[in-house]
Structure 1
Amino acid sequence: MARLLLAESVPRDGQVLVLGAGGGLELKVFAEAQPEWRFVGVDPSAEMLKLASATLGPLAPRVELVEGYIDTASEGPYDGATCLLTLHFLPAEQRLHTLTELRRRLKPGAPLIVAHHSFPQGEQQKARWLNRYAAFAVASGIPAADAGNAIAAIGSRLPALSPEQDLALLREAGFDEVELFYAGFTFKGWVAYNPS
């Protein structure tokens, strides 16, 4: 989905910033699908970046891997950016800073694709959505004890926000045309654009 959303706006020879590059799986998917795109992948873990380099294999020359956070990323400007399964680790103030810096590094009209845990934060609603997430995991073959441990960790350790709060932060960071493109139990995904 992220690849298709990027391809709507990123030119054939575009450059894409991938914040939270992890082990390089999304970089590989993007690079295989778009043979002329170039990438900057940023991640705070040197170990994950080594894995990303191995995952990319012969595609690695088109990717600059940078150890760090958004402030470590070059200024660009980039034709598009992604931040997948990352923002839910950041408290609201740090998340706003990250989103603002992502937008500042994008060309006018360029897309940002984000996806992460985002669910209602009221006590009863939060419990309901986490339990739904666990039930889906169990139905997918995950042992019930592991699913229970996962939702306990998500509920107590992640500074998750509600979808309304996430949307407000994207707008406060200066993005416009923010659109929800994915919703699956506790996960949400948005595409947003740097104003032209």
Structure 2
Amino acid sequence: MNIVDLTTPFTDPAVVAGYAEGTPRRVPGFADLHLMTLVLLSERAPDAARILVLGAGGGLELKTFAAARPNWMFVGVDPSGPMLDLARRTVGTLMHQVELVPGYADDAPPGPFDGATCLLTLHFLRRPERVQVLRALHRRLKPGAPLVVAHHSAPEGDTPERWLTRSVAFAAGAKVDATTASAATMAQHLPLLSAGEEEAVLTEAGFAEVSLFYAGFSFRGWVAVAGPAE
């Protein structure tokens, strides 16, 4: 899937309407993932931080972050207009802390930002595109600023289908009917990287201190810090 194709499923009215309710059921520990992300950002961010949120459509993480850190400001970037509209509704009375920008990583303000997140997004991108996106984030971060990413990943030494099947079963409430077929379709369309490749991509894009902090079936999350500007 090319970067320009990312909006395709997220302009479907049915997908947008069900996103806020459906996504937490699909991702193990969804609310805790947001809280862990907040902890990791807070370790290095100043009291009045400015945070870049890439793939912010829907607004679920923005709402959590803004509610917990009233002194922080956020820039949320997403290519889908309908998903940004949903983000406005989700964030609601906290929108005074949020600026929403339509587009991709290169469309984000230049910063520099005190931290960045990219949740449930990078699994749509092939390796070269991931490096491109991560480098765009790196250019917008202060040296030493944290980046938190989480998405589907292929486990080392195992087939992606096995773990995607488990994620699909989790989303279905542990029902197993048709999960194998659904997982096979996901494996065909998502260019998943192994954990080692994920960490190598972050390093190639200029990040250091790459550490795994989250794992839930096929989902993995890493935190890293921006190295010196090239």
Q: Under a length normalisation based on structure 2, what TM-score does the superposition of the two structures give?
A: 0.79
Q: Counterpart of 2:203?
A: 171
Paired with 1:60 and 1:174, the residues of 2 have a C-alpha distance of: 32
Shift of 1:74: 0.6
Q: Counterpart of 1:103?
A: 138
SS at match of 1:179: strand
Distance 1:133 1:55, change over 3 A: closer
Structural RMSD (CA): 1.7
Distance 1:85 1:146, change over 3 A: farther
Contact 1:137–1:147, Cα closer than 8 Å, also in 2:
no
Shift of 1:47: 0.2
Aligned-residue sequence identity (percent) comes to: 56
The amino acid that maps onto 2:74 is F
Which runs of 4 or more aligned residues in structure 1 lie more than 4 Å from their structure 2 counterparts after TM superposition? none
1:33-48 matches, within 5 Å, as 33-48=68-83
* Residue from 96, 114, 119 that aligns with 2:149: 114
SS at match of 1:144: coil
Q: Counterpart of 1:189?
A: 221
**Number of residue equivalences:** 193
Structure 1 residue runs without a partner (length 5+): none
SS at match of 1:35: coil
Shift of 1:195: 2.1
The amino acid that maps onto 2:136 is E
Distance 1:128 1:8, change over 3 A: same
SS at match of 1:101: helix
Shift of 1:108: 1.1
Q: Does residue 130 in structure 1 map to residue 164 in structure 2?
A: yes
Q: Under a length normalisation based on structure 1, what TM-score does the superposition of the two structures give?
A: 0.92
SS at match of 1:171: helix
